Homo-oligomer: A and B are copies of this chain.
């Protein structure tokens, strides 16, 4: 007999997990209207789903097929619709949780409504030393300018207030916040950021990198508060039917919260993590991406970088000046050398690279940087450009090259339409939110919501993707309808392609043999629903790894 080794022990434990024993039989979710795409994007229908003890798909069963007699469990869904779980290819997990726990201004239609909500929150939370929150959008308010510290002072002056714009690319503080941060008329805008001023006086709004001037004095959440925020985010995601998500810009503290949750056995939603900058990713992963942890529920696989800001705050980097601000073209966040150094450092150790690029200039620069890497870092790299919102049509073919993934957010198109027209004028929209052109040019199209900038609702994104219309059906016929894609293409971008974009297509993204049994029960058939009906879909149950993780009360 041989002396025991670690390898042998591991093999034995694996054998125990895969051997059929008395205690371990498959489970069956039966009597469903099951629908999934296969790996070629073809629609499959089934009525039963056989799930292994490890939570993987054993078989899709047709109505006519005999069910196994020996089962560990059986759930009868009485004909309800079962779909693969959705995957959000671009979200901000912790921000979603904190947004839900902090002052939330999303949905406010005017500055006055926002002020009323701020005042009520401050009155209801007298113990909070700072009022923290976000979700405002001066465009939605019809304000035509940023709000000011003075306006905020009229509702809260006894303590600092610090509120992020919906897109996270600007923040609004009151005078107490500016004072706490030591911001004065002498304060200078940092590289990659802008202190909004009235004359020489900072007037309360800080764009992009300038936000750090105040954020350095904002109280940081305690680790146990982060855990609460994470569980909140996870619950929200599951309530929308999202079973896996990319986390675009994981900080060290975010990562530690995910690990604590995983260690405690409470991690449900699968997180494809992209470290905030190369240093964070490498500090966590070391010589390369981490393995998949907690039964394929967490992996630090890559790096998030920023090539520019956002369109709303005119931080997006354009080839030509903004139509509504002739002196401005935005700015790049990294020099040519810096972006290449970052890409190289990440790629050397096989970290995937995901670069935020909104403006046409930023997209062109990132494409050039990727093209410069391609000869050195061969193999399956799956370079990602996040948002890819405004692309010069001459640059569109460059997406298909080098296997670049266009990671886009359909609801941004519906939310940003009017603003984009104002920022860009009529002649620069040919490559804006150009989903169909991306596919035609050979890019892989992965969809997400950029939550909490938008709601993490995949049904809203799905409907927008094949209609180019918002929830009110506007505009009639769709905005630049030539960029619509099919219902099935959009579904794939929110499932299989979003998994592929995170090197996870062998693990999840569709219901197929060997895939993790991540699925949802919903109240209608999304392939037969009108766009309005599709947007109204209710998720009733969310299952992850063959176990029910969430259900509607």
| Interface residues, chain A, with chain B CB atoms under 8 Å away | 1-6, 8-10, 12-13, 15-17, 19, 21-24, 27, 51, 53, 55, 71-75, 222-224, 226-227, 252-253, 256-257, 259-260, 263-265, 268, 282-287, 290-291, 293, 349, 545-549
Contacts and interface: CB of A to CB of B under 8 A. Distances in A.
A262 to B, nearest CB: 10
B283 A253 contact: yes
A415 B186 CA distance: 60
A349 to B, nearest CB: 8
A12 B27 contact: no
B5 A547 contact: yes
Contacts of A284: 223, 256
Contacts of A252: 252
30 contacts: A1-B71, A1-B74, A2-B73, A3-B73, A3-B75, A4-B51, A4-B72, A4-B546, A4-B547, A4-B548, A5-B548, A6-B268, A6-B549, A10-B265, A12-B23, A12-B53, A13-B17, A15-B23, A19-B21, A21-B21, A222-B282, A223-B285, A227-B286, A252-B252, A256-B284, A257-B286, A260-B285, A260-B286, A263-B290, A264-B291
A55 B9 contact: yes
B16 A23 contact: yes
Interface pairs A-B: 9 shortest CB-CB:
A223-B286, A224-B287, A4-B73, A15-B23, A3-B75, A1-B74, A260-B286, A6-B547, A224-B286
Contacts of A223: 282-287
The complex is assembled from copies of this chain, and their number is 2
A1 to B, nearest CB: 5
A344 to B, nearest CB: 15
A349 B222 CA distance: 12
Contacts of A222: 282
Contacts of A545: 9
A263 to B, nearest CB: 5
A254 B545 CA distance: 32
A283 B264 contact: no
A283 B263 contact: no
A544 to B, nearest CB: 9
A224 B283 CA distance: 9
| Residue of A53, A286, A293 ringed by the most chain B CB atoms within 10 A | A286
Contacts of A27: 4
| Residue of A51, A226, A548 ringed by the most chain B CB atoms within 10 A | A548
A525 to B, nearest CB: 23
A388 to B, nearest CB: 31
Nearest to A9: B547
B286 A9 contact: no
Contact of A3 (B3, B13, B17, B548): B548
Contacts of A283: 223, 253, 256
Nearest to A14: B23
A133 to B, nearest CB: 23
A188 to B, nearest CB: 27
Contacts of A6: 265, 268, 547, 549
A32 to B, nearest CB: 13
Given A4-B75, A16-B16, A256-B284, 8 more contacts: A4-B51, A8-B73, A9-B53, A13-B17, A15-B23, A16-B17, A21-B21, A223-B287
B4 A24 contact: no
A12 B283 CA distance: 36
A319 to B, nearest CB: 38
A320 B15 CA distance: 65
A378 B291 CA distance: 41
A288 to B, nearest CB: 8
Contacts of A286: 223-224, 226-227, 256-257, 260
Contact of A263 (B2, B24, B291, B546): B291
Contacts of A253: 283
B227 A287 contact: yes
Contact of A1 (B22, B73, B259, B264): B73
Nearest to A75: B3
Contacts of A226: 286
Contacts of A21: 16, 19, 21
Contact of A293 (B9, B257, B263): B263
